Amino acid sequence: MTDLRGTVERVAHSIHRRGLTHGRTGNLAVREGDHILVTPTGVSLADVSGADLSVLDAEGHHLDGPPPTKEAFLHVAVLRARPSAHAIVHTHSVHAAALSCLSDLDQEDALPPLTAYYGMRVAPLLVLPYFAPGDKAATYAVQHAATRSHALLLRNHGPVIAGVDLDSALDALEELEHTAQIFFLTSGMRTVPLTTHHLAALQPQTPQEPSA
């Protein structure tokens, strides 16, 4: 089993162990060269085996392994839109899923930047319209939104988070879930979100060119 397959197994089990998914919900994907490894359909993340993943080509055609999750097209669309991303995590984590059910969300960023780590790892969180699970009609909306942010929230469903690797995507997913929990805990109270100045200061600084 390759290291990448072992990482998928480790992260899948970690997601389930931390209560970020339930039952047989949630799925993961990673790039492996010209292929995409995806968790199979009907398998709890607690039981995912790195040796038994679905293999897709870059267009989402099933090449090898068990049948992929019916939401594999979400992963393919995001990876197509974000060449720098190499991994996707999709869960139905409780607080993020609850957030996806609220009316009057800011479609361009569903959560206020309540913490520095949310600002660094997640924001902006774009909200997509509702599509039934497995409905490939969502492909265009997901791909278009993914060109603008690595963090998406599917209405009445849950988050889809991209990262340079699975651990980065999981870090962002956990930060989103934590911030959503803070959001609900402080509901009805006055909060002090970070300002645009605070957020800008959190971004990696680009080294300046040496002066002539």
Q: Catalytic residue positions?
A: 71, 117
Q: Residue 20, Cα to own-chain centre: how many angstroms?
A: 12
Contact 45, 14 (CB under 8 A): no
Contact 161, 89 (CB under 8 A): yes
Buried b (16+ CB within 10 A) or exposed e, 171-189: bbbbbbbbbbbbbeeeeee
Max alpha carbon distance in the chain (Å)?
Answer: 61
What single-letter amino acid sits at 80? R
Place of tokens 């942010």: 149
What single-letter amino acid sits at 125? L
Q: What is the phi/psi pair of residue 204, to 5°?
A: -60, 135
